[in-house]
Structure 1
Amino acid sequence: MCGRYLMTSPLDAMRAVFKVKADANFPARYNIAPKQPVLVVRHDDAGIPELVAVEWGFVPEWIKDPAKEPVINARIETVEAKPYFRASIKRKRCLVPMNGWYEWKTEGGRKQPYLISPSDGSLMAFAGVWSTWHGPGGEHWLETMAILTAPATGPLSSVHHRRPMVVANADHDAWLTTHDPLPRRFLEDFPFVGERAFDARPVSTRVGNVRFDGPECLDPPEHERQTSLF
């Protein structure tokens, strides 16, 4: 699964990679967690990419109680069939800009966080779905998203049994373009980025605490052990 990620690229990189018009600057984020506002790229009503902020934790438009625990990931195996995501996977797909994500692996009786990031250090994007929930009287609304995941069957399986789906830069438009109904085998045949495009390395256990959101999250575990000696 994907439960934490980072997005540290500057605004200029966002404009270049996602072809969006964005003027408001945003801080680098090293420890993005569920229920927080995040940036996504989606098509506007005219089919033009736009950069917007939504909340991480999917709430379908038809649910009565949005206070229930939100769903942060959507399994690619069931996303077309589950009522939770069925409408969004056809009409509300999005890109979630990122520079990497974290997974935890049990080692020596403790959980060690790993950073999994593009081998070339590039800005990339998760495949996501989004939704808009309206209050019973239409007095307020909430936009949310979830990240698609699939079984890890390659190198990443040594860290975690599932992985988020990543869309190559050349395929952004193909992912964002709506289809209703979804073409047969759309998800099975979509050219998501393969696992060998990413590297994994252990990082600081600070990332396990959502209060830490600085570059120290990327420190190697050895740095923690060294500083504890002084």
Structure 2
Amino acid sequence: MCDSYHLLNHWRHDAGMRRLGVPQSPPPEGPAARLDCARSTWASIVRNAPLHALQIESRRWGFHRHYPGDDRAQPFKRELFIADATQVTQLPSFRAGFAWRRCLIPMSSWSERQDTDGRKALVEVSLPERPVFAVAGLYEISHDIRTGMSVDTFVVLTVTPEVFLRGARHSTPLVLEEEDYLPWLDDLEAARHLVRSKTKDGVGRTQAIKSRRAQLFG
């Protein structure tokens, strides 16, 4: 996955989001969520709320991690923006989030790096039959690597490029079918099954995918 994705302004009113039961009003609190989302910026996620309801939250893209490193006085710090779907059940950085804090990240398109005739291209990828779709994500409260303050964050689950887009250089978001939205949120065993099934080569190629070259460089 590249560094950004886009979300239509009216995404909450999309038919799939309405069927899911997403609130039709933006959250009353928190930083404003962006529609053109880049790493380390605030974006909308959908997660479970009490009494079997759903809620929209504005969270910052990227888990924050502090690692001891060789110098305990200067620990190694980094932000994690994506999580390999094949490893989220094993890696300590994501294991608890996968078990307890799964979310949906609404998108309308994402940007992907591709190799084209020996040159690098930035390609915008969308699903023509689904103007708004959701990808699998995790959320948590991180400790900001710069300020030490608590911050609401999320990461995007990804799969190998071949699952959705041949020729891509990096991993792509794990796009969920509409019927998988609630199982992903509600059922840990169903979430495990989704990860196993969606990470097999060939899954997802039956979906209509539209790609538009946004930039050519290199």
Q: TM > 0.5 between the two?
A: yes
> Does the CA-based 8 Å contact 2:174-2:198 persist in structure 1?
no
Cα displacement string for residues 71-130 of structure 1 (whole angstroms, at most 9, x for unaligned residues): 111001211111000100011000000011111123355421111111314310110011
1:187 to 187, 190, 195: 195
Identity %: 23
Check conservation: 1:89, 1:129, Cα contact below 8 A: yes
- Report the RMSD for the aligned CA atoms in angstroms: 3.5
Q: Report the CA distance shift for 1:22/1:141 in structure 2 as closer, same or farther (over 3 A).
A: farther
TM-score, normalising length: structure 1 = 0.72
- Contact 2:34/2:42 (CA < 8 Å) preserved in 1? no
> Given the superposition, is the C-alpha separation of residues 108 and 185 from structure 1 closer, same or farther in structure 2, using an over 3 Å criterion?
closer
**Structure 1: distance between partners of 2:92 and 2:164:** 32
TM-score normalised per structure 2: 0.76
- In structure 2, give the amino acid aligned to 1:201: S
Change (3 A) 1:183 1:97: closer
Cα gap change, 1:86/1:182 in structure 2, threshold over 3 Å: closer, same or farther?
A: farther
Cα shift at 1:184: 6.3
Post-superposition CA distance 1:156-207 (Å, at most 9, x none): 122345321111111111000153x88865521469971331424233339x
- Name which of 17, 22, 27 aligns with 1:20: 22
Pairs aligned (count): 201
The match for 2:41 is 36
Is contact 2:34-2:44 (8 Å) kept? Answer: no
Q: Unaligned regions of 5+ residues in structure 1, if any?
A: 209-230
Task: Quote the Cα distance in structure 1 between the aligned partners of 2:165 and 2:196.
Answer: 19
Describe the SS at the equivalent of 1:80. Answer: coil
CA distance in 1, matches of 2:33, 2:143: 29
Give, as a single letter, the amino acid of the residue that structure 1 aligns with 2:161.
Answer: A
Q: What 5-or-longer segments of structure 2 have no aligned partner? A: 69-73
Distance (whole Å) between structure 2 residues aligned to residue 189 and residue 36 of structure 1: 30
Q: Does the Cα contact within 8 Å between 1:2 and 1:73 map onto a contact in 2?
A: no
Q: Is the alpha carbon distance of 1:198 and 1:120 closer, same or farther for their aligned partners in structure 2, counting shifts above 3 Å?
A: same
Q: Does the CA contact (< 8 Å) of 1:18 and 1:41 recur in 2?
A: no
| DSSP-derived class of the 1:85 partner | helix
Match of 2:8? 8
Query: Where does residue 59 of structure 1 map in the other structure?
Result: 64
Change beyond 3 A, Cα 1:36–1:155: closer
**What code does the residue aligned with 2:25 have?**
D
Matching residue of 1:129: 138
How has the CA–CA distance of structure 1 residues 127 and 15 changed in structure 2, closer, same or farther, with 3 Å as cutoff?
closer
Q: Which residue of 2 aligns with 1:204?
A: 214
> Would you say 1:68 and 2:71 are equivalent positions?
no
Q: Which amino acid aligns with 1:168?
A: E
Distance 2:18 2:130 in 1: 15
AA aligned opposite 1:103: E
Change (3 A) 1:132 1:204: same
